[in-house]
Amino acid sequence: MPGRRLTSADRQRIAEGLAQGRDYADIARGLGRPTSTVSREVARNGGPGRYRAELAQLATTHRARRRPRPPAHPETGAHAGPDPGTAAAYAGELTAVLVETGLPRTAAGVLACLFTSGTGSHTAVELARHLRVSAATISHAVALLRRQGLIRRGRDGHSRRHRYFLDEDAGVRSAVAGVRANQRLATTALRGADIFGADTAVGTRLAAAGQFLEQIGNDILRAAEKHARTGPEGT
């Protein structure tokens, strides 16, 4: 039925269809779905060359767990936080570490701003002011972070201006995004082992690297799936 949600089995069939070089319309006919359903599913989960059924299913589970956030208000409490200089120094340190994970500097700066914001959100204007960059630069950075599922856009209930919120599963999503790169590298290494031959020095080296990366990726996926099922309190 076209209205029902895609299942794990549906996503596996989409992945198989892409691997076979079939187009979206052909895959959709096999599922009994509109072509637009398949094209949106693939686009939001890495595109045709990077689509993985397991990761797409995990991302959907995370989206389903999202809860509405209350309107953003300044936090009150006994602990007012560090002084502005200390907070700024820490944000710079966090940005540098995020850059080391492969994020562009401005995108890393946006994440650092959101992590260290009392409300957990900022407008584009606020981000541009904090990071001392143009509005266009912020626009590119938040678009990248939204595609990766690390932030989301909403309204604060006090104005018509959009705000950007740190996704509550940003840490898990960041780890899962890394799994995609690991899986591609593992697959490439294992294919190289076949090309050079498992009994050669090159083949042995590539096979060992591919098997290691594959195991690491599987371990991260299992941990992320457990988190998706039980939440952090169940770990």
Residue range 1-50 in CATH 1.10.10: yes
* pLDDT at residue 59, rounded to an integer: 72
* Mean predicted confidence (pLDDT) in 195-215: 87
* pLDDT at residue 160, rounded to an integer: 67
Pair 55, 45: CB distance under 8 Å: yes
Q: What is the pLDDT of residues 51-61, one digit of tens each?
A: 888 877 877 76
Other C-beta atoms closer than 10 Å to the C-beta of 2 total 9
Q: How far apart are CA 144 and CA 88, in angstroms?
A: 24
Of 8-22, 35-49, 103-117, 161-175, which range is least confident? 161-175
At 75, the pLDDT band (50, 70, 90 cuts) reads: very low
Other C-beta atoms closer than 10 Å to the C-beta of 81 total 11
Token pair, residue 76, equals 């009150």
Q: How far apart are CA 62 and CA 80, in angstroms?
A: 32
Q: How far apart are CA 174 and CA 163, in angstroms?
A: 21
Pair 54, 221: CB distance under 8 Å: yes
Residue 235 has pLDDT above 50, yes or no: no
Q: What is the pLDDT of residues 137-173, one digit of tens each?
A: 999 999 998 887 778 888 766 666 788 887 665 555 5
CATH topology of domain 84-167: Arc Repressor Mutant, subunit A (1.10.10)
Residue 77 has pLDDT above 60, yes or no: no
Report yes or no on whether pTM surpasses 0.75: no
Q: Where are the domains of the chain?
A: 1-50, 84-167, 171-234
* pLDDT at residue 127, rounded to an integer: 94
Q: How far is CA 94 from CA 102, 166, 202, 211, in A?
A: 13, 15, 38, 32
In this chain, the answer to whether the domains covering 1-50 and 84-167 adopt an identical fold is: yes
Residue 24 has phi, psi (to 5 degrees) of -60, -40
